[in-house]
Amino acid sequence: MKIVYFDVENYEENFLKENNEGKFDYILETQTLNDLTPVKDEYKNADIISVFTTSRVNKKVLEQFPNLKLIALRSVGFNHIDLDYCKEHNIAVVNSPNYGNITVAEFALALLLDVCRKVTVSYMDYKDGKVRPENLMGMELSGKTIGIVGLGAIGSAFARIAYGLDMKILAFDKFEKDEMKQKYGVKYTDFDTLLKESDFISIHAPLTKDNYHMFDKTSFEKMKKNAIIVNTGRGELIDSRALYEALVNKQIAGAGLDVLENEETITDFDYVIGLNRLDKKTLEQTIINSQLFKLENVIITPHTAFNSIEAINRILKTTMSNINSFISGNVQNNVVR
């Protein structure tokens, strides 16, 4: 059984070596998988591959792995995988759920506090020797209404934090949890009501075919002018152009973003050296992303909300558990339906 781990970071190497040495024929690869770089010949006979969200595993990539039986994701999200192809070719795709519930929720709060209290702006002004107190006035969270989109494991963790900060909590989710209503005062509501009544909105929904660009021009027009939106879910849940226009036109007050549409074009060297590889839509979104970075009322981080020591350890343990279970004939955490 041959396994190739892609997107491997330095801090993952020791764990992966200890848990693969003597058990599997394995390769640790720092590079990502994408349709711009051909798969190396030595990787093509892999039975199992493991990737992070930085890899884009589409049909063109998957066709280069004729023996592939399993994709072990070191993430919860799986929108970067061509699930239709995997289903057609009997390739199991397993994810690593619940590894970062607290980690991501805490980071979402950090983004919200940063934008509300202008932490980064204050630091940069102070560093540059041009402190302007009137421009650094922030807003308190206590007593305000937070709207949470997606009350799964991460959204629920965020709700518990918000409850501890004496915030009023609105939630939009298909499934209601009695515990969240009874213990934390969560009020479930429809999407429009959440948009209109929330002072702050935090997005914790997975990306699906049905919620692509759920935050569009119309959504921002319904929000309060002093509202702040935080996204630690997926970039494609927000229409980047609509967000930029809402911020510039002061329809909303600010944004804290750990994810962006087509965020890979910002850091992926293949794109940096070959902009001609971008289609028109992706190029437009990349330009908008670059403009978002210039706004003072926006904080953008490089998809790092998951990145804590505790969460990484849980990801790696779950990944190895998923692989061992698959090999023993017991597939766990399969996302192919």
Report whether 29 contacts 5 (CB < 8 A).
yes
Q: Is the pLDDT of residue 281 over 80?
A: no
| Residue 313: how many other CB atoms lie within 10 Å | 13
CA distance to 26, 160, 335, per residue, from 155 (Å): 36, 9, 20
pLDDT of residue 298: 97
Q: What's the whole-model pTM score?
A: 0.86
* Per-residue confidence band for 310, with pLDDT thresholds at 50, 70 and 90: very high
By CB atoms closer than 10 A (0-12, 13-18, 19+), residue 292 is middle
Report whether 240 contacts 214 (CB < 8 A).
no
What is the rounded radius of gyration, in angstroms, for the C-alpha atoms of the chain?
A: 21
pLDDT of residue 46: 98
In tens, the pLDDT along 101-156 reads: 999 999 999 999 999 999 999 999 999 999 989 889 999 999 999 999 999 999 99
* Per-residue confidence band for 316, with pLDDT thresholds at 50, 70 and 90: very high
pLDDT of residue 264: 73
* Per-residue confidence band for 267, with pLDDT thresholds at 50, 70 and 90: low
pLDDT of residue 77: 83
By CB atoms closer than 10 A (0-12, 13-18, 19+), residue 253 is buried
- Report how far residue 157's alpha carbon sits from residue 162's, in angstroms, rounded to the nearest whole number: 9
In tens, the pLDDT along 165-198 reads: 999 999 999 999 999 999 999 999 999 999 999 9
pLDDT of residue 278: 66
Structure-block tokens of residue 207: 């990306």
The phi and psi torsions of 237 (rounded to 5 degrees) equal -70, -20
pLDDT of residue 326: 97
Helix, coil or strand: residue 123: helix
Q: Is the pLDDT of residue 269 over 80?
A: no
pLDDT of residue 54: 87
- Report how far residue 320's alpha carbon sits from residue 331's, in angstroms, rounded to the nearest whole number: 12
Q: Is the pLDDT of residue 271 over 70?
A: no
CA distance to 7, 12, 17, 41, per residue, from 22 (Å): 22, 18, 9, 23
Range among 31-40, 59-68, 129-138 with highest mean pLDDT value: 59-68
Lowest mean pLDDT segment, chosen from 32-41, 105-114, 159-168: 32-41
- Report how far residue 125's alpha carbon sits from residue 218's, in angstroms, rounded to the nearest whole number: 34
CA distance to 21, 69, 213, 302, 316, per residue, from 1 (Å): 13, 10, 40, 34, 19
- Report how far residue 55's alpha carbon sits from residue 279's, in angstroms, rounded to the nearest whole number: 18
Give the chain's mean pLDDT. Answer: 93
Catalytic residues: 234, 263, 303
Report whether 57 contacts 81 (CB < 8 A).
yes
In tens, the pLDDT along 206-260 reads: 888 899 999 999 999 999 999 999 999 999 999 999 999 999 999 999 999 999 9
Go through the domains of the chain in sequence order and give each one's CATH number. 2-99+309-327 (3.40.50.720), 101-300 (3.40.50.720)
Report whether 177 contacts 151 (CB < 8 A).
yes
pLDDT of residue 275: 55
